[in-house]
Amino acid sequence: MGAEPVPRREVVTARHPGHSDRAAPRPRVSSDARPAAPRHDAATRHVMRHQLRAALLVTALLAGLLGLLPVLLRLLPLATTAPRVPLAVWLVLGVAPYPALLAIGAWYVRRAERNETGPAARLRPERP
């Protein structure tokens, strides 16, 4: 079996030699650009509204907790002037943000998934 010469393979494609080097045309696909059914549209708007509300809430939280911090640290003259930076500043900037970010993120994921499965699912009615 091993002594037999191994037959060679040949590369075969259906490419026509005439236009082998042309860049691929972008074919139209029939499923594209069909207008969404109004039923979909209502469900989409509903989900979008709820998700956007959650996202903006997180943004507000982020702006309130972290966004105001530079001003606060500037107003309470601790961070930059004293030769010994108080431990509290190190903790506020070096430790505290990370658990807070993780907690906000986890809360958002729970809320977003509820938005998708809860009322939105009820609003998405009969399957075709």
Partner 1 sequence: MTVLGTLALVLVGLAVFVCGAALGHGAARRQREHAADGDEVRALARALHSAGLAAAPLRGGLGPDTARRAARRLRPLLAVPALAVTDTTSVLAWDGAAEHHRNQLEARLTGPPRSHTFPLTCDAGGCPVRWGALAPLTAGGRPVGALVVCAATETSAHARAAEAAAARLSLDLDLAGLDRARADAYEAEMRALRAQISPHFIYNSLASIASFVRTDPERARELLQEFADFTRYSFRRDGDFTTLAEELRSIEQYLELARARFGRRLEVTLRIAPEVLPVTLPFLCLQPLVENALKHGLEESVERSVITITAEDEGTEARVAIEDNGVGMDPERLRAILRGTAGAATGIGLSNVDRRLRQVYGDDHGLVIETGVGAGTKITLRLPKFRPGVQAPPPV
Partner 2 sequence: MNRTYGIAGVTAVVLATVLVGALGLRVSRTTSDFYVASRTVAPRLNAFAVSGEYLSAASFLGVAGLVLAQGVDMLWFPIGYTAGFLVLLVFVAAPLRRSGAYTLPDFAEARLESRAVRRVAGVLVVGIGWLYLLPQLRGAGLTLRLLTGAPGWLGALVVAAVVTAAVAAGGMRSITFVQAFQYWLKLTALLVPVLFLLLAWRADRAPAPVWDQRPVFHRSAEVRVDRPVTVTVREPVGVTVSGTVDGRTVHGVSLLLGEGPHRFGADTTVRFPAGAVVPLPDRTADRALAGWAEPLSSSREQHGLYATYGLILATFLGTMGLPHVVVRFYTNPDGRAARRTTVSVLGLLGAFYLLMPLYGMLGRLYAPDLLLTGDTDAVVLVLPQRLIGGAAGNLLGALVAGGACAAFLSTASGLTMSVAGVLAQDVLPTLGVRHFRLATLPAIAVPTAASALVGDLPVADAVGLAFAVSASSFCPLLVLGIWWRGLTPPGAIAGLLLGGGSALTAVTATIAGGADPGWPHTLLAWPAVWSVPVGFAAMILISLATRDRVPPGTATTMARLHLPEPPPPGPPPA
Q: Please give the residue ranges that form the binding site for partner 1 (CB under 8 A).
A: 6-16, 19-20, 22-33, 127-128
55 binds partner 2 (CB under 8 A): yes
Total count of residues recorded for the chain: 128
36 binds partner 2 (CB under 8 A): yes
Give min distance, CB of 87 to partner 1, in A: 40
Give min distance, CB of 9 to partner 1, in A: 4
| Rounded CA separation 118/111 (Å) | 10
Q: Nearest CA to 97 among 61, 47, 60?
A: 61
State the number of binding residues for partner 2 (CB under 8 A). Answer: 53
Please provide residue 64's backbone torsions phi and psi, each rounded to the nearest 5 degrees. Answer: -70, -40
33: left (phi > 0), else alpha (psi -120 to 50), else beta? Answer: left
Give min distance, CB of 111 to partner 1, in A: 20
Among partner 2, partner 1, none, partner that 18 touches (CB below 5 to 8 angstroms by kind)? none
